[in-house]
């Protein structure tokens, strides 16, 4: 079933001013339904009995996300047009792009869990063992996950094209879509470089945050939605300023959750970023603020891949003792204020402005 026949989709009529929490919950639920339906249909077309495990893993994986990037695409659309079913399907396609990134990220980081469950490469490795296949189950799992991620990348573009939006709108937005995808790959590479760098500066870490997460999570999805809706450059420019600031706030919060977050909430093990040796903003700020004695202790705790829980908790207490947590909270608040202020003078509908304000707080204050 294709949606490309909808030349002029009708606007969705909701209450005059749907509150942000209700709107956010509805958009996530409806987008998730669209993506699951799309994956099930594509899997039925392409997968055979010996490859259907890919469909099982992906169908489960796409249903458990926060759908934040999809929501930002739709918020960008609302800056120039009313919500339609086609616009929501187009926005939902961003979740498949995100699944591509997450699956590959877990392989590169050797993360065992994602969204509170075994990561895709772990599930594929388990399937290999149950089937009694030859060779390394771990190597098979990683290879299968990369291929499943590739499917998500292909299907994301297909879902956007088949969303039902006019072909000229999709064509107009494709350069921004291409930029988003290329920037994501380059940002991921910069993240790899930062992991092996001895002592990256906070400026370098934030530059990676902008390229890998900030632009990819907030700015580019917003610009993509606005371009699809035909917004002018004044609106897109304001959304870019907002996106830069809120994207950084999102990544800074992510870094805090990577050290201090509750595994029951984050779906990741305690101190996962510390075990991986990531040079996150929290780690870099802690190093910069540490006293000489604290700095020596921090240096002694590097390379924590084999650290037990007691050592990780000691590491977390030491980082907090430097004042890094409070400083990163300050940086987040600063960016939230800057991002919302960027919208003040732009000709954006009230409902879009309210939802963007709500999304800014959702990015910067989650898990707080």
Distance CA 42, CA 32 (A): 15
Confidence of residue 99 (pLDDT cuts 50, 70, 90): very high
Check whether 11 has a pLDDT greater than 50.
no
Cα gap 43→148, rounded to integer Å: 11
- Give the residue with greater pLDDT, 80 vs 310: 80
Average pLDDT over residues 90-113: 93
Token pair belonging to 150: 């590739």
**In this structure, what token pair is assigned to residue 125?**
């490795």
Write the DSSP string, 207-218: HHIIIIIIIIII
The 3-state DSSP class for residue 6 equals: coil
**Where are the alpha helices (H) located in the chain, listed in sequence order?**
20-46, 52-62, 68-78, 85-109, 120-131, 137-161, 167-196, 202-208, 220-229, 233-260, 263-266, 272-275, 281-289, 292-300, 309-321, 324-341, 350-365
Residue 2 has pLDDT above 90, yes or no: no
Q: Look at residue 368 in the predicted model and tell me its pLDDT.
A: 55
Q: What is the pLDDT of residue 13?
A: 37
pTM of the model: 0.86
Q: What is the pLDDT of residues 137-193, one digit of tens each?
A: 999 999 999 999 999 999 999 999 999 999 999 999 999 999 999 988 887 887 777
User: Looking at residue 64, what is its pLDDT?
Assistant: 86
| Mean pLDDT, residues 117-146 | 96
Total Cβ atoms within 10 A of residue 74: 28
User: Does the pLDDT at position 232 exceed 60?
Assistant: yes
How far is 227 from 159, CA to CA, in rounded Å? 17
> Is residue 367 scored above 60 in pLDDT?
no
CB-based contacts of 98, cutoff 8 Å, min separation 6: 65, 69
The answer to whether residues 256 and 280 touch, using CB atoms and an 8 Å cutoff, is no
Distance CA 159, CA 154 (A): 9
Q: How confident is the model at residue 306 (pLDDT cuts 50, 70, 90)?
A: low
- Unique residue bearing structure tokens 């996950």: 145
Q: What's the pLDDT at 26?
A: 95
């Amino acid at each position: 079933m294709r949606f490309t026949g909808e030349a002029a989709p009708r606007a969705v009529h909701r209450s005059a001013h749907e509150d942000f929490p209700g709107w956010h919950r509805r958009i996530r639920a409806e987008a998730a339904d669209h993506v699951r339906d799309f994956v099930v249909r594509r899997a039925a077309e392409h997968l055979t009995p010996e490859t259907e495990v890919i469909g099982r893993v992906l169908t489960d994986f796409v249903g458990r996300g926060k759908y934040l990037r999809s929501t930002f695409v739709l918020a960008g659309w609302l800056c120039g047009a009313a919500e339609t079913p086609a616009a929501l399907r187009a926005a939902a396609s961003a979740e498949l792009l995100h699944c591509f990134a997450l699956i590959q990220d877990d392989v590169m980081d050797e993360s065992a869990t994602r969204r509170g469950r075994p990561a895709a490469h772990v599930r594929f490795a388990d399937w290999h063992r149950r089937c009694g296949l030859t060779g390394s189950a771990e190597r098979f799992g990683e290879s299968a996950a990369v291929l499943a991620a590739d499917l998500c990348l292909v299907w994301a573009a297909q879902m956007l094209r088949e969303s039902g939006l006019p072909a000229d709108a999709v064509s107009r937005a494709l350069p921004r879509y291409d930029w988003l995808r290329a920037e994501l790959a380059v940002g991921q590479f910069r993240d790899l470089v930062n992991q092996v760098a001895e002592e990256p500066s906070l400026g370098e870490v934030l530059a990676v945050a902008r390229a890998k997460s900030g632009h990819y999570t907030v700015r580019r999805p917003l610009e993509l939605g606005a371009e699809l809706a035909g917004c002018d450059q004044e609106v897109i420019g304001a959304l870019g300023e907002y996106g830069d600031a809120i994207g950084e706030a999102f990544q800074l919060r992510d870094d805090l959750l990577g050290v201090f977050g509750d595994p029951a909430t984050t779906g990741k093990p305690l101190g996962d970023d510390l075990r991986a040796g990531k040079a996150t903003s929290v780690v870099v700020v802690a190093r910069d603020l540490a006293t000489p004695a604290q700095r020596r202790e921090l240096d002694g705790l590097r390379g924590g891949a084999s650290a037990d829980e007691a050592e990780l908790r000691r590491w977390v207490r030491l980082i907090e003792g430097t004042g890094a947590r409070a400083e990163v909270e300050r940086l987040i608040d600063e960016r939230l204020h800057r991002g919302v202020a960027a919208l003040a003078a732009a000709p954006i509908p009230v409902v879009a402005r309210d939802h963007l304000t709500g999304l800014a707080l959702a990015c910067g204050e989650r898990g707080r």
